[in-house]
Amino acid sequence: RNPKRPFYIVTENIVTRVLGTSFTVHAPKGKEETVAVKTGRVAVYRKEEKARISLPDFYVTVTPNHQVHFDHKRQKLVAEIVEHPALIPAAEHEENIGAASPQAPIRMEFDGTPVEKIFKKLEAAYGISIKYDAKKIANCSLTITLVDEDLFTRLQAVCDAIGGSYHVAGTEILVKNAGCNSKY
């Protein structure tokens, strides 16, 4: 694990440039190839495009809780959120969310906290972009404790409390809500 000396993993259709990370490559012959990142980052590009690696249009940088797969029908790389996002180590994001050990549950406690701040904390904790209409949630505050749930359960609890919903769109989460005029 040395970011200054990357190595490459080559599969049938894609090349993964490892930049100091923890990740998995799933590449059964003749089937969909997927690269999912747990920590750090990797650059993934189509095998025949290696000569053009310096051009951003031809590779995808994959970060924690994201993955990329090669779509055979469209002949392109598709980036998305992993099925089960995990808390990323505190060293990889600005806000410390508490001791992250496999045995200790992670508590996120919010007391009259603006919902925008809750979304930002979830973004930092999981490394996943959460998009929302800031004007609609400007007056929304929430008191809630989230313990040991996964990202989607935590997000659903917040959305339920503000009368909203969310859906995953590629590499980000989009939140919809009618807005709120009171504190929950």
CA distance 35 to 146: 30
Phi and psi angles of residue 28, each rounded to the nearest 5 degrees, phi first: -65, 140
Q: What is the pLDDT of residues 23-38, one digit of tens each?
A: 888 888 888 888 888 8
Residue identified by tokens 């200790």 is 104
Report pLDDT digits (tens) over 98-128: 444 444 568 899 999 999 999 999 999 999 9
Check whether residue 59 and residue 119 sit in a common domain: no
Which residue range is the domain that position 163 belongs to?
A: 90-177
Give the integer Cα–Cα distance in Å for 42 and 27.
16
CA distance 69 to 83: 13
Q: What is the pTM of this model?
A: 0.78
- At residue 48, φ and ψ (nearest 5 deg) are -75, -5
Residues 127 and 98 in one domain: yes
* 149 lies in some domain: yes
- Tell me: do 111 and 66 sit in the same domain: no
